[in-house]
Amino acid sequence: MHPIDRPRRLRSHPTLRNLVQETRFNTRSLVYPLFIREGTGIRQEIPSLPGQFHYSPDTVLEGVDAATQHGVFSFLLFGIPKHKDPEGSSAWAADGAVQTSIKIIKKRFPYVLLITDVCLCEYTSHGHCGALCQDSHGNVTVDNDATLPRIARTALSHAQAGADLVAPSDMMDGRIQAIRQLLDQERFENTPIMSYAVKYASAFYGPFRDAAGSAPGQGDRKGYQMDWHNRREALREARLDRQEGADILIVKPALAYLDVVSDLANQSDVPVAAYSVSGEYAMIKSAAKAGLIDEYNLIRETATCVYRAGADILISYYAPEIGEAIQKGELG
């Protein structure tokens, strides 16, 4: 017996495989996260994220420059302040690390796109993403509605500094509406909101919290970030954020949540981004260091899988490496 249909026929030649490959992408859909610490002259490798650096506003151009060499022109900026307090008031300081860096980067690279992470957890002394309060049972919890004006104010300070897009990652209910209203009121009606609409309470954020000094002192984020048992709820979060005016939706983390990326990509009427987070990067790095896996091939495979699931945009600490592989014609 001979099979009539043979899928192997289309796999018989490398150029034929390229011809029929179903997933294609390019460097223009990559976003590279950068960590900026308040201060000067800082260029320190981050222990929990080998290969990633803490910069200060005066050195961050180095990180931007390196990525642009590989065709990456979009950046996601995270700030690490000197001063933390219960309110997280450094988050909206006009001379904060993010606000200052935006001006410096824009002056040297006017064509790059700067997206800012809008959250309070790096700025609060307790490490939670919002203001704390006591609920009616006396339990300490994050006060949703008291947090909204602070989140909106932080987003506005980024827009005023020249951010192209703001990306709220706090997961408070109603924050997109609060940000949209304040931005519009202050004549930033054309600044898009890239919402972390679907953000799970994930252990994959561990290395980031070391890098950003943002681990909650007590408790966890399960009271505001999503439960990883839930898939349908992602559509609810996405719908609410769309109704409130979100322009781009982020799913986070990426690799363990590709079912959710796929659901959203199938239903969304706006672009969908997947954020391949710190733990995903750190796992590949450390397995490669231990000689257990081939880092280059795993970078190519995992990036492709995110696009195959339907993501339009990939946020990744490997963005420069992905860009380089695409430039070499070995990916995309």
* Residues assigned a catalytic role: 199, 252
Q: Which stretch binds ligand PBG (CB under 6 A): 1-9, 114-122, 141-149, 185-193?
A: 114-122
Q: By three-state DSSP, how is residue 280 classified?
A: helix
53 binds ligand PBG (CB under 6 A): no
The vertex-289 CA angle with 287 and 291, nearest 5°, equals 75
Report residue 164 as tokens: 């192209």
Terminal Cα-to-Cα distance of the chain (whole angstroms): 38
Cβ-in-10-Å burial (0-12, 13-18, 19+) of 187 comes to exposed
The minimum distance between CB 2 and ligand PBG, in angstroms, equals 51
Decide: is 121 part of the binding site for ligand PBG (CB under 6 A).
yes
> Judged by CB under 6 A, which stretch of 86-94, 115-123, 148-156, 322-330 contacts ligand PBG?
115-123
The DSSP line for 179-245 is HHHHHHHTT-TT--BEEEEEEB--GGGHHHHHHHT---SSS-STTTSBPTT-SHHHHHHHHHHHHHT
Asked if 278 touches ligand PBG (CB under 6 A), the answer is yes
CB closer to ligand PBG out of 35 and 307: 35
Q: Is 318 in the site for ligand PBG (CB under 6 A)?
A: no
**Which range of residues in 17-25, 38-46, 207-215, 321-329 is near ligand PBG by CB under 6 A?**
207-215
Question: Is there binding between residue 129 and ligand PBG (CB under 6 A)?
Answer: yes
Residue of the chain from 117, 164, 263, 324 that contacts ligand PBG (CB under 6 A): 117
- Comparing every residue's Cβ against ligand PBG, the nearest one is 208
CA distance 101 to 61: 9
Summarize as ranges the residues that interact with ligand PBG (CB under 6 A): 117, 119, 121, 129, 169, 205, 208-209, 214, 277-278
